[in-house]
């Protein structure tokens, strides 16, 4: 019997559900699949919510996005059917990944989560895709899911 499809999402994907940007429609399609009692398993490290909130804060401070809309968006993200992985548990591997590939520990936490749950990471961060191109990590660009 095959295991259900699974993947890890990073904040660059989550934020596209909140703020209309290029590829937001791809994220909506990605998240429209079966979740809780269906087949698809979507994972995020717990820092996903903090990172998304920080991006929304930047939209409020720089672009006049309303704080009320930012709060609504955080609630939207919290209601998604996401399986949350503890960042604390990911840190030992995340630090090793960050040092080995010269990426932030934040980004490395997503890769460590992908390793832990044996799933690919989906990101809109093309820099991260490039940094992991010649590695064993399965990192898929949101752009290439179109």
pLDDT per residue as tens digits for the range 12-61: 999 999 998 888 988 888 887 654 456 789 999 999 999 999 999 999 99
Q: Is 74 within a domain? A: no
Note every long-range contact of 68-76, with CB atoms under 8 Å and residues 24 or more positions apart, other chains counting.
73/17, 73/18, 73/19, 74/49, 76/17, 76/18
Residue 64 counted as domain residue: no
Tokens found for residue 5: 């499809």
Place of tokens 């699974």: 6
Residue 36 included in any domain: yes
Q: Is residue 68 part of a domain?
A: no
Q: How far apart are CA 112 and CA 44, in angstroms?
A: 11
pTM over 0.75, yes/no:
yes
67 within a domain of the structure (yes/no): no
Domain membership of residue 65 (yes or no) is no
Domain residue limits at 100: 6-47+81-145
The residue to which tokens 């995020």 are assigned: 44
CATH code of 24's domain:
3.40.50.1010
Mean pLDDT of the chain: 92
Number of structural domains (the chain) is 1
pLDDT at 91 over 80: yes
């Amino acid at each position: 019997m095959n295991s259900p499809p699974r993947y890890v999402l990073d904040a660059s994907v989550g934020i596209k559900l909140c703020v209309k940007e290029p590829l937001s429609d791809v994220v909506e399609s990605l998240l429209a699949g079966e979740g809780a009692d269906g087949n698809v398993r979507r994972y995020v490290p717990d820092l996903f919510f903090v990172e998304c909130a920080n991006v929304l804060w930047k939209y409020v401070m720089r672009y006049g996005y309303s704080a009320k809309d930012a709060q609504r968006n955080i609630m939207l993200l919290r209601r998604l059917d996401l399986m949350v992985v503890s960042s604390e548990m990911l840190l030992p591997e995340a630090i090793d990944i960050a040092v080995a590939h010269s990426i932030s520990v934040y980004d490395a936490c997503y890769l460590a989560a992908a390793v832990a749950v044996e799933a690919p990471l989906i990101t809109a961060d093309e820099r991260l895709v490039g940094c992991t191109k010649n590695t064993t990590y399965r990192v898929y660009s949101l752009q290439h899911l179109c």
